[in-house]
Chain A
């Protein structure tokens, strides 16, 4: 099927590996920048500034990145560019922990991440087409979460026993196998018109942004992350309050265990999205948010919190599979799949940014329990909105493949 003669059988496995290693290199950053810069005598204020710079970059570059990926013919080349950007950012951080290089690294990393996510989704769509996309995305999410869980463990150990600088070297090194797997992916033959937009194509664009379903789903996505993003940090605070010395081990479990759940559940989610339709699966994922929040609030002791966190694996699996899947549903018949991914990415980033402020503020003012309930309530609103307003977006069986 691939037009340029590469072996089609190699591509799925190479895409698995690409997801595995890309998750690795993206995890490498955020958490370690603060520790690393503190160790290099940065003041808290300056660290706050570069972290904010990274967040703002990730927000403002979502839509332009989507347009950029849409405009490129070969998505593999864009993805390679994104990976090289991450290598550059990691090396800058490792070599020169000074203001300008670190600021540049944060910007590079923000832009590169915004490019990589839609590019990988577009490569998947190109490889398998709309009909088989759910299953493929399930596999993507499985390998990404295995990569994430392993990286969290390895980088956590590296950061505490070697140095926080080693984490950045490791990140740069892991981009190499990611690039190699990328080169093993052949060019797919599906959905070429959906993921590549001719320059200044406006008709499809207007159609896409007039689509009420996209707006409704974007709001649901924002509510999901408003509810989700602050829950782990608050759970971490709850653990440190109760567990004392072994707190870090329990927190590590709170991060790694959900990745295991995602790895197990994602393929199932992808298949069910195809057989049951999108709505029931989405509602399941969003319903897991308030359930987890309530459990985090009421369960006693630090160990049971790991169980409550495991539930987040369910919502993460649903989210990881369904976001690109719905973007593909919304953009059938247009040529702006990546821009749609960017728009949803914007909703994610905005929701997460609000979440940490909201969660921290409620926790300060009214205590951790109230904060969990407040975050859970936000998730419940998102779920209700899904139930009431979002129609089924799965392709009707008779509809021709675009």
Chain B
């Protein structure tokens, strides 16, 4: 950001996003941030007042669910390989694919790929490796990069087609899967 050349090298490739959504809130934040850099005390979030009790509340013990967004993803051997940063759902709200960010080193070489939901294994009770990606390193390496949800997304399917969701398995019905994963392009 500033003069020395090496920092610029370290700035990740543009993650500039469209400002259309939430732009009013953002401009307000930017305004406050720009005008009051001294106002460090302004930090705490104002908590909304507690809502009136809902009709049906189901209590889920912490070991039965995982908050997946931002969580690290492990390889089958337990090594951390990236983070789950987004979930793509279909019209029924069913998760179709997960976007996984492979961080690179200091932001350089960072790469996102979209993998089919069925390539992930979830173990809510396991606090160290609750999310496991079952693809092999070669399949991950060969996967096309995920750009954004507004473009056609290449979702890496599991090599064994029967594990895929019925909605998109026809696209990969090919019984002889090549060594690497079969990417399908969907609009």
Contact = CB atoms under 8 A, between A and B. Distances in A.
Nearest to A363: B13
A294 interface: no
B29 interface: yes
Interface in A14-48: 23, 26-27, 30-32, 34-35, 38-45, 47-48
Interface in B60-76: 67, 69-70, 72
Contact of A34 (B5, B26, B107): B107
A235 B108 CA distance: 9
Contacts of B104: 236, 240, 247-248, 251
A245 B12 contact: no
A31 B4 contact: no
Interface stretch (A72-80, A112-120, A126-134, A192-200): A112-120
Interface string A319-336: 110010000000000000
Interface stretch (B34-42, B49-57, B125-133, B161-169): B34-42
Given A98-B45, A106-B33, A319-B5, A92 B105 contact: no
A27 B10 contact: yes
Interface residues of A, number: 97
Given A100-B42, A106-B33, A360 B13 contact: yes
Contacts of A54: 1
A65 to B, nearest CB: 9
A359 B9 CA distance: 13
Contact of A156 (B22, B32, B45, B105): B105
A244 B138 contact: yes
A341 B2 CA distance: 11
B32 to A, nearest CB: 6
Interface stretch (A206-214, A224-232, A275-283): A224-232
A236 B111 CA distance: 10
User: Is the interface on chain B under 10, 10 to 19, 20 to 34, or 35 or more residues?
Assistant: 35 or more
B43 interface: yes
A386 interface: no
B101 interface: yes
B123 interface: no
A27 B7 contact: yes
A225 B1 CA distance: 11
Given A34-B15, A233-B12, A255-B105, A103 B33 contact: yes
Contacts of B86: 43-44
Interface of B: 1-19, 21-22, 26, 29-30, 32-34, 36-37, 39-40, 42-45, 67, 69-70, 72, 80, 83, 85-86, 101-111, 137-138, 141, 147
22 contacts: A38-B85, A41-B67, A44-B15, A58-B2, A103-B33, A104-B40, A155-B106, A156-B106, A228-B8, A233-B9, A233-B13, A233-B109, A240-B111, A244-B137, A244-B138, A248-B104, A251-B105, A255-B10, A255-B106, A320-B5, A341-B3, A356-B13
